[in-house]
Amino acid sequence: MTHWIIAPVVLPAMLAAILVLVARFHISLQRTLSVAGTVVLLGIAAGLFWQASDGTISVYQLGHWQAPFGIVLVADRLSTLMVLVTAVLAPLVLLYAIGSGWDTRGRHFHPLYQFQLMGIMGAFLTGDVFNLFVFFEVLLIASYGLMVHAGGAERLRAGTQYVLYNLLGSTLFLFALGTIYAQTGTLNMADLAERVATLDLADNAGIRVAAVLLLLVFAVKAAILPLHFWLPASYAEAPAPVAALFAIMTKVGAYGIIRIYTLVFPPDLALTQGLFDTWLMPAALLTLALGMIGVLGARRIDKLVAFSVIGSMGMLLSAVAVFTPDGIVAALYYAIHSTFATAALFLLVDVLRDRRGKAGAWLNDAVPVAGGPLVAGMFFVAAIGMTGLPPLSGFVGKLLILDAARDSALVWWVWGTVLIGSLIAVVGFSRAGSQIFWRSHQVALVQADTAECEDEEANIADLSPPQPALPMVAIGSLIALLVALTIFAGPVTRNLSATAAQLFAPEPYISAVLSMPGKVIKSDSYGDDHADDATKQTDEGGH
Amino acid sequence: MELLIASAIGVLTAAGIYMVLRQRTFSVIIGTSLLSYAVNVFLFASGRLTVNAPPVLRDGVDVYADPLPQALVLTAIVISFGMTAVVVIMALGSYLSAGDDLVDVPDPHADIPQAPQTLRGEAVE
């Protein structure tokens, strides 16, 4: 049964290989396999989540090597939760990609999508920091391909920028890992936790440097203020389904922060004192402010949504930076909420870009959108979710964040920034919505008056093409998830409280990982050169 | 030897950062390559510097070379090699389609709509 833990990594990897080797010229076969794969993945993720929901921590040893020597995958509450969120998002976004035809606008969409899923799942499940780096690279290299899917000058330009920025992030990650290894001699998270706790504050400047470097790496992924520059252009230019899937990628950075800084560098550790109060909290609040101001200032709807992603990451990380169990509960709830809200908004933006003809994503006067009421209604609901107005889950999440921040030293700063930021976001979103959905009717009337039948013809022509239902089903399901997250806020937060409690009591995690016996090398071949070489090679192969 | 390795890492990193801050993708890619060389040497040195030492633990051996950083650096070399290849191709594509190899995304917002096709990325030649 323990082999299920690696299934979320192996399944997309194998499927991607099959897709690219066997089904590369058959789009319908690719679609079928890809959807089937993500549905099975959802089943596996739900199973893992159920398995971890009673507090068991399952460990999977790759190659059956014991923990500090081999790589382990660990399925605890937090990992399985993030895996489940990804697995819920994946089929919906895939449905949109199929329904809107995005997967046919370039080659290899489906294999890259599966590789991306493999990287994300692996990053959530691994219990080894170097392996985390490797899975980051897997998800990044797939995202490079997806980012420039369908090509185009501006997209390639934004893509190059995105790749270069992330290459620098990867280099920084390696520097951090090298420092950690030089200081502690291990890269297994549980083993690290034990060893870091015994380190002496005086002569271990190196491990402090490593802790800060690692935080910077995750800050790049999570787009925290001085390191957010890659996000607006990349998300706005990326194909819509890809941008929607990227909604989970910023959460990978947040996951990294939560995982490493509860397990390896816990908040009461003297070595990393002040990292959160002094640095992360102000950075998160500034990120929040910047994102919301960006929402107000954006002149294109896709840029607007991209900035709202930055704002929501600021919101999420200000809850993380409080670093109490309550803060983590709030952060996780908000992370789930903002993943679905962002994905829904990016998909809606694509629908708008598609149907507004020449006006595209620009917030300017244009003719009404085809299928206006439905699209407008969905945009309205998703915007309510994103900006955190009642009654949707964004509001619940924000309440949790405000409540968690009450004991923080910076409480008034948090409250002020969150509330004013939300207000600005509400203004930004309502301006965009009324420009696109209401002003357009005025424009249509004026146009119909001045120019005669020709323009009117154009107006009607824009409305006429039949709209496929599948994209709307995908967006509708995402919005339904937001509603469900609101209705079941009670059970969800109870589950998240248990998750946070598990994170703040890491001893079971450490003992589960380190005490699990691995394979034994027979003592008669020990000392023999060949046996030694063989073990060494397997170890290397594992990395 | 420590001085040599440390200064090599330092010089590579400094040169890499200088190149990364430049404006054209070509220099930036050279910069990221230099940085990845620096980090490879750094990873290699993170297992401590030893000469003529056996690679694995054995009874009665005090000085040994740590094999793990060597495995790590192999992984890092492969990954950075692949990533550099990807970024070269993407930069080339961006150069050919946009006509220049500047890194920053130009501000196309100066005056409202361009052809929507270029925004959505279809049929751009």
- Which chain A residues are Cβ-neighbours of B104 within 8 angstroms? 161
Q: Which of A307-316, A509-518, B30-39 has the lowest mean pLDDT?
A: A509-518
Rounded average pLDDT over A404-424: 89
Annotated domain spans of chain A: 274-507
Give the list of residues 6+ apart from residue A469 with CB closer than 8 angstroms, or none.
Answer: A99
Rounded average pLDDT over A489-500: 93
pLDDT tens figures, A472-484: 889 999 999 999 9
The CA distance from B104 to A158, in Å, is: 8
**Please, what is the angle between helix A77-99 and helix A27-52, to 10°?**
160
- Which chain B residues are Cβ-neighbours of A181 within 8 angstroms? 43, 46-47, 68-69, 72
Residue B1 pLDDT: 83
Q: Is B25 on the interface with A (CB under 8 A)?
A: yes
What is the DSSP code string of A205-220? HHHHHHHHHHHHHHHH
Q: Which of A39-43, A313-317, A372-376, A481-485 has the lowest mean pLDDT?
A: A372-376
pLDDT tens figures, A240-291: 899 999 989 999 999 999 999 999 888 877 777 778 878 889 999 999 999 9
Residue A317 pLDDT: 92
pLDDT band of A453, cuts 50, 70, 90: very low
pLDDT tens figures, A151-180: 888 888 888 889 999 999 999 999 999 999
**Cβ–Cβ < 8 Å for A150, A105:** yes
The CA distance from A467 to A369, in Å, is: 12
Task: Give me the half-sphere count of Cα atoms (radius 13 Å) on the Cβ side of residue A275.
Answer: 26
pLDDT band of A449, cuts 50, 70, 90: low
Q: Is B32 on the interface with A (CB under 8 A)?
A: yes
- From B3's Cα to the closest Cα of chain A, the distance in A is 17
- Asked whether the beta carbons of residue B69 and residue A358 sit closer than 8 angstroms, the reply is no
- Asked whether the beta carbons of residue B69 and residue A105 sit closer than 8 angstroms, the reply is no
- Asked whether the beta carbons of residue A358 and residue B116 sit closer than 8 angstroms, the reply is yes
The CA distance from A278 to A276, in Å, is: 6
Nearest to A280 by CA among A359, A218, A197: A218
Rounded average pLDDT over A4-21: 93
Give the list of residues 6+ apart from residue A66 with CB closer than 8 angstroms, or none.
Answer: A516, A517, A518, A519
pLDDT band of A456, cuts 50, 70, 90: very low
- From B57's Cα to the closest Cα of chain A, the distance in A is 9
Write down the mean pLDDT value for chain A: 86
Domains with residue ranges and CATH for chain B = 2-51+63-104 (1.10.287)
Give the list of residues 6+ apart from residue A128 with CB closer than 8 angstroms, or none.
Answer: A71, A72, A187, A188, A189
- Return the number of other C-beta atoms located less than 10 Å from residue A271's C-beta: 18
Residue A90 pLDDT: 94
Look at residue A509 and tell me whether its pLDDT is greater than 60.
yes
Look at residue A526 and tell me whether its pLDDT is greater than 90.
no
Rounded average pLDDT over A326-330: 93
The CA distance from A241 to A244, in Å, is: 5
Residue A457 pLDDT: 46
Rounded average pLDDT over A222-226: 86
Look at residue B25 and tell me whether its pLDDT is greater than 80.
yes
Return the residue matching tokens 């005086």. Answer: A202
- Which chain B residues are Cβ-neighbours of A207 within 8 angstroms? none
Q: Which one-letter DSSP state was computed for residue A272?
A: G
Q: Which one-letter DSSP state was computed for residue A435?
A: I
- Asked whether the beta carbons of residue B43 and residue A361 sit closer than 8 angstroms, the reply is no
**Cβ–Cβ < 8 Å for A65, A535:** no
Q: Which residues pair with A74 in a beta bridge?
A: A59
Higher-confidence residue of A201 and B80: namely B80
Residue A342 pLDDT: 93
Residue A538 pLDDT: 44
pLDDT band of A448, cuts 50, 70, 90: low
Residue A435 pLDDT: 83
Between positions 53 and 112 of B, the ones with CB within 8 A of A are: 55-56, 58-59, 67-72, 74-76, 79-80, 82-84, 86-87, 90-91, 93-94, 97-98, 103-106, 108-109, 112
Write down the mean pLDDT value for chain B: 81
* Dihedral sign (CA A385, A391, A392, A393): positive
Interface test with A, best of B83, B88, B92, B102 (most A CBs within 10 A): B83
- From B123's Cα to the closest Cα of chain A, the distance in A is 8
Nearest to A299 by CA among B33, B106, B110: B110
**Cβ–Cβ < 8 Å for B55, B64:** yes
Point out the residue among B46, B86, B105 whose CB comes nearest to the CB of A178: B46
Residue A444 pLDDT: 66
Nearest CA in chain A to B125: A152
pLDDT band of B112, cuts 50, 70, 90: very low
- Asked whether the beta carbons of residue B124 and residue A358 sit closer than 8 angstroms, the reply is no
Show the CA angle centred on residue A349, arms to residues B97 and A229, nearest 5°.
60
Residue B50, both tokens: 């030893």
- Which chain B residues are Cβ-neighbours of A105 within 8 angstroms? 121-122
Residue A370 pLDDT: 67
The CA distance from A1 to A156, in Å, is: 44
Rounded average pLDDT over B5-14: 95
- Asked whether the beta carbons of residue B116 and residue A353 sit closer than 8 angstroms, the reply is yes
pLDDT band of A125, cuts 50, 70, 90: very high
